[in-house]
Amino acid sequence: MQAIILAAGMGRRLGEYTKENTKCMVPVNGTPLIDRLLGQLETLKLNRVVIVVGYEGEKLKRHIGKRYADNLKIEYVNNPVYDKTNNIYSLALAKNKLQEDDTLLIESDLIFDDKMFRLLLDNPYPNLALVAKYETWMDGTMVRIDTDFNIVNFVPKAAFKYSDVDCYYKTVNIYKFSRDFSVHKYVPFLDAYTKAVGNNEYYENVLRIISFLNSTELKALPITDEKWYEIDDKQDLDIAECLFAEEKDILHKYYGRFGGFWRFPKMLDFCYLVNPYFPSRRMLDEMQANFSTLLTEYPSGMKVNTLLASKCWGVQEEYIVPGNGAAELIKILMENMDGRVGVIRPTFEEYPNRLDNERVVAFVPQNKDYRYGVNDLMDYFADCDIQTLLLINPDNPSGNFIPLTDICMLADWCEKKSIRLVVDESFVDFSEEWESSTLLRDNILEAYPHLVIMKSISKSFGVPGLRLGILTSADKILVDRIKKEVSIWNLNSFAEFFMQIYTKYERDYKCACHRFVEERKRFAEELQGISFIRVMPSQANYFLCEILPPYTSLEVVKTMLKRYNILTRDCSGKVGFDGKHYMRIAIRSREDNLRLVMALKQIEK
């Protein structure tokens, strides 16, 4: 058995990363792709490795040098016209060597698990293509396979149809060819194809012709949980560095993305917090039906979007500001706050992060569940000389909840002391009495002019991709100031359309919230059955969990990600926890929650 590596391309889409290096010399987490690949091949006892070089080929040869001479016999084939040809020509240049032995054919811009080669070598079929079920990030050649794993068709880019994606597999670009297949099938067709069509083509086109003539000659071997990625551009490189991060760096790599986890379709995100049961299918269908129009038309400005927000959440237009997510409004609000700000920690740090440390006055509940009430807050902050008091309700990450009557008591206390009370009720719709717990009412706002309400629509309504939030207050001066500070088109058309149609689906939303409360109760009981987890009571869509010895929160979170592809939040570094071991677990659908519980039970064993 030998390996042939195609490494002649220029990798233009990687920009500055390949300005002076061939693509396979680009490092992923510090290790060049070619070094990782040759290290994997070293373990296979191959007769030789043939590398087809072209762009910066001499530099690649110098880089490899004789470092692998003890375990690999490396030969080179040069493609002098790498900038005018494609990989079919690179393989054609190596066709004589291809016919001399059974071959592993590998493209050099791949990164993959070590066990991928064993999948091929341990399989009895002589001619195999590794394939992966289609996912949205995949590009390039697709295949269709039958029930016997025969490749019945190669689907080039021009023939790709999104309506057929359920039937597609992506070629991983790692193949096993027998010598007999290369001699009697592949190379003869390769010669005929290049003579007829030219050299600026892809070697898969030859396999496509062979599959038309004899569908049983080449089998597909679908991978399952094995990791791999094809690195064509900067975004691919960034994702690959997450997928193949060292254990010490893995959480930093994922947490530092702040979302966008749809790029990792197999990963379950129990870190970010949304409603698992809304929008309803009917609402999604209506938005999808209007996708083209919304994508190609300008959204309305602040005046129209304020009207829509007022309609959706029942607050006068002069009291409400819609924002590009709550994050936009939080930034502007905190920049308009003077003096010292009281916060309860541990908490959602987006607010205090906007302040200098000396302006933050923190109250930390002195009990194991981080519970507190309004009397605790009034007693603590009575003599603290604060100008603003910030309350997340339910709190994040503790899940502590203060009922409406007590919030009004606190608001009255703040009015008497001329303290601005900022209440973030982004998670209030997940509370058991959610319909009567919101502060979004004109009479409440008018009764407490110093009161400001913030709400992230992303979380409770399950639409984080829309980037939609609202701020409300009867302080018209503040509201007008914030409206002037946001851009004229601070909302996109999709967020605007969501507000336009939302009231038609209010009943669906109420059903979703009631369904969520039932699922939270079930999920809590299941988590409480895990011996190393102490679950705190919560009125939000997450649980704060203390991790008990012999485990640590960091160990559990890393294991969940590395072994089970489930992302959770390690909270041990949050201010207020003093290094104790806590993790936050979001509440998702029943199916997803069961998958997380099963993973925790396996860790427990």
pLDDT digits (tens, 9 = 90+) for 55-65: 999 999 999 99
| pLDDT, the chain, mean | 94
pLDDT at 423 over 90: yes
Find tokens 């195999």 and name the residue. Answer: 128
Instruction: Identify the top-confidence range among 272-276, 405-409, 571-575.
Output: 405-409
Ramachandran assignment for 572, one of left (phi > 0), alpha (psi -120 to 50 degrees), beta (any other):
alpha
Q: Residue 406: pLDDT band by 50, 70, 90 thresholds? A: very high
Q: Note the pTM of the prediction, 2 decimals.
A: 0.89
How does pLDDT run across 85-139, given as a tens digit for each residue?
999 999 999 999 999 999 999 999 999 999 999 999 999 999 999 999 999 888 8
What is the per-residue pLDDT for 136? 87
Q: What percent of the chain lies above the pLDDT cut of 90?
A: 87
pLDDT at 214 over 80: no
pLDDT for residue 307: 98
Q: Where are the alpha helices (DSSP H) in 101-152?
A: 116-121
Alpha-carbon gap, residue 2 to 312, rounded angstroms: 65
> Can you give the pLDDT at residue 20?
86
SS3 53: strand
Phi then psi dihedrals of residue 29, to 5 deg? 55, 40
Q: Are 143 and 131 in contact (CB under 8 A)?
A: yes
| Domains of the chain listed by start with CATH number | 2-240 (3.90.550.10), 244-276+508-604 (3.90.1150.10), 281-504 (3.40.640.10)
| Range scoring the smallest mean pLDDT among 56-70, 137-151, 184-198, 484-498 | 137-151
What pLDDT is attached to residue 215? Answer: 66
For residues 178 and 120, give the distance between their C-alpha atoms in angstroms, rounded to a whole number. Answer: 12
Work out the angle between the directed axes of helices 553-564 and 590-604 (0-180°, nearest 10). 110
Task: Tell me whether residue 331 is exposed, middle or buried, using C-beta atoms within 10 angstroms of its C-beta: 0 to 12, 13 to 18, 19 or more.
Answer: middle
What is the per-residue pLDDT across 580-596, written as a single tens digit (0 to 9) for each? 899 999 999 999 999 99
Q: Which of 220, 234, 199, 217 is nearest to 95 (CA)?
A: 199
Paired tokens of 168: 């597609």
**Strand 48-53 to 360-363 pairing:** unpaired
Contact between 431 and 539 (Cβ < 8 Å): yes
pLDDT at residue number 333: 97
* Neighbouring C-beta atoms of residue 356, cutoff 10 Å: 8
